[in-house]
Amino acid sequence: MTIAIGSDHNGVALKEALKQGALQGHIVRDFGVFTSESVDYPDIAFAVARAVASGECERGILICGTGIGMSIAANKVQGIRAAACSDVYSAKMSRRDNDANILCLGGRVVGPGLAAEIVTVWLNEPFAGGRHARRLEKIHAQEGQR
């Protein structure tokens, strides 16, 4: 799978750990950042979200301190369904019910071991479709409207 990944300064260490571990065997496009210098998470969120929305990458992973800011920002990009998850069950259901195409993690919330489990489950769980697809259509119909 081709995966876009990005983090702010609070997610650099976890991003590197995932690249060395759970993401081995996948094609990873890293949108930064690479140092602990403070940056604005929306800049990274939009870069990764656009890569996923355009089809350039199949999925995205975004990491900030909590995962929350990244998910709020990424969900502003049309076609993105970003889910901030800090447990395995939520990550699995974000795929099964919500067809989440971006996973957001908190570098200050989950450790590397749990994050690896979350990522592995999230990458492998299929979307259930059916009534869930109808619900997602309703969400995307709202995009661009007030």
Using rule CB under 6 A, residue 48 touches ligand RB5? no
Q: For this structure, is 57 an active site residue?
A: no
Contact window for ligand RB5 (CB under 6 A) among 16-24, 62-70, 74-82, 132-140: 62-70
The contacts of residue 37 (CB under 8 Å, 6+ apart) are 9
| Both structure tokens of 3 | 């995966």
**The only residue of 31, 41, 46, 122 in contact with ligand RB5, by rule CB under 6 A:** 41
Catalytic hit among 57, 64, 85, 104:
64
3-state helix, strand, coil in the chain (%, to 5): 45, 15, 40
Helices (H) and strands (E) in the chain, counts: 6, 5
HSE-up (13 A, CA, CB side) for residue 41: 24
| Both structure tokens of 19 | 């690249």
Using rule CB under 6 A, residue 60 touches ligand RB5? no
**The only residue of 68, 93, 128, 136 in contact with ligand RB5, by rule CB under 6 A:** 68
Q: Give the interface with ligand RB5 as residue ranges (CB under 6 A).
A: 8, 10, 41, 64-66, 68-69
Return the active site residues: 64
